[in-house]
Amino acid sequence: MPHNHTLLELSKKLRSRDISALELCTHFLDRIEGDTKLNAFITSDTERALQQARVADDALNSGSASPLTGLPIAHKDIFCTKGLKTSCGSRMLDNFISPYDATVVERLAKEGVITLGKTNMDEFAMGSSNETSWYGPVANPWDTSRVAGGSSGGSAAAVAARLVPAATGTDTGGSIRQPAALCGLTGLKPSYGRVSRYGIVAFASSLDQAGPIAQTAADAALLFDAMAGFDPRDSTSLDKKFEAASSSLEKPLKGLKIGLPNEFFDSGVDSDVGAAVQAAVARLCELGASAVNIALPNSAAAIPCYYVIAPAEASSNLARFDGVRYGYRTNDPVDLTDLYERSRAEGFGAEVKRRIMIGTYALSSGYYDAYYLKAQKIRRLIATDFDRAFAQCDVIAGPTTPTTAFKIGEKMDNPVSMYLNDIFTSSVNLAGLPALSIPVGFSGSGLPIGMQLIGPYLDEAKLLNVGHCYQQTTDWHRHVPGEFA
């Protein structure tokens, strides 16, 4: 069946005309329409998708197609899409129709990619389980009583259930890698500045970065190459040309040094998770790599550091949602102050309000130096730890998450426990580095386990190369939840 193929496999079938873009698009739209268990999509875009498929078939028939032409994907509902609702999983933007496309959407569309719809997400990307969405939680296809991870949980669940062959996500503290790990997928968080943030509704501007969620590292490389590049509309975009990551996937791993931080393999990691990651490292060593022990002494400070900086930036970014210009507006306000207060109180969910309050407090007079400034100093120490580590190794490996997917509702009343799900991922965003999560096994209860690979700044190609070589000798990425096979 088409839905069990990777992007690269589907691309070959399209170019050989074994299947048309219209047939492929219709197949996936039917799967999206037929799903009643995951709540992975907020909006589907049937009419536009079918029109894009017809255009793609014309390009394929004329020989003017790119490798991505005719391939269907979904976008996380944080990417602005012209003429389509962009809600960020929030009541605040439930009625917002974007007047323009995000750069990521624009670039993929230019390559002939078909947009099937917009996926569910934690509200304004604030969450680690996709339970804070105004549209309800997303279920994990491997066990629908468990979370899909967040905040890009809708994208991950949709790809894992083969409702789409790939999807976009954003990663502020692990929001691509964590759901990819919990759903048995490959997820790439690029270096800060490699992918334009223009048209991505901002959560924390110094941390947000867009990337792909796919079945394989090769598929992720294909999408990343199309997404990345300088954008003059984004002041944080890096103006530098790079070789396509897809071109170096097959490089042998001989001589590669893999750093294993002691801090990533402590008693807080489930035994199944730790064993699967160690086995994956052993497989990479069989392929020519070698493992060295390294230290990241400030990694324990990543969570408290992140949860000062990210809420502080969020409190500033979300100030624009006031009920005046666009988005949710309360009924019958008595005056302007009442309009502001009730629009925000009614439009935002509990987790968003919690983070706005934390961020406002951290930035307030008398507390700025004690919290925000100190967090920025710790951020520098965390980045320096990585610099020292990469003097000893080429990539760093460890668990993506300390546990497998937990039950829906299990941690909603314990924010600190929820935040600790990002303990291995948030330091990467603080340092602006690239990281890749790949599936490396299953727990005793049949839940996916992910391994995180962290690379030096701007070396996404190396991470994708390592991930691809590993996937050439394993089949974890081929496993599909039985109900959705």
Instruction: List, run by run, the mean pLDDT of 10-residue segments along the chain (485 residues).
Output: 93 95 97 97 96 97 94 98 97 97 98 98 97 98 97 98 98 98 98 98 97 98 97 96 93 97 90 97 98 96 96 96 94 96 97 96 91 96 98 98 96 89 95 98 97 98 98 97 91
- Asked about 175 being catalytic, the answer comes back as yes
Residue count of the chain, please give it: 485
* Inter-residue contact 71 to 113 (CB < 8 Å): yes
Alpha-carbon span 444 to 447, nearest angstrom: 7
pLDDT, position 346: 97
* Inter-residue contact 45 to 116 (CB < 8 Å): yes
Domains and CATH numbers, the chain: 2-250 (3.90.1300.10)
User: Which bin fits 479, alpha (ψ -120 to 50), beta or left (φ > 0)?
Assistant: beta
In order of 62, 74, 226, the CA distances from 50 in angstroms are 19, 14, 22
Of 71, 390, 458, nearest to 245 by C-alpha is 458
What would the two tokens of residue 389 be?
């580590």
pLDDT, position 138: 98
Residues 6+ apart with CB under 8 A from 135: 39, 42, 87, 89, 120
Alpha-carbon span 122 to 130, nearest angstrom: 5
What would the two tokens of residue 209 be?
């970065």
Out of 175, 191, 299, 426, pick the active-site residue: 175
Q: End-to-end alpha-carbon separation of the chain, Å?
A: 9
pLDDT, position 209: 98
Alpha-carbon span 350 to 352, nearest angstrom: 6
pLDDT, position 485: 84
Out of 20, 76, 129, 155, pick the active-site residue: 76
Out of 44, 128, 129, 151, pick the active-site residue: 151
pTM of the predicted model as reported, rounded to 2 decimal places: 0.96
- Asked about 76 being catalytic, the answer comes back as yes
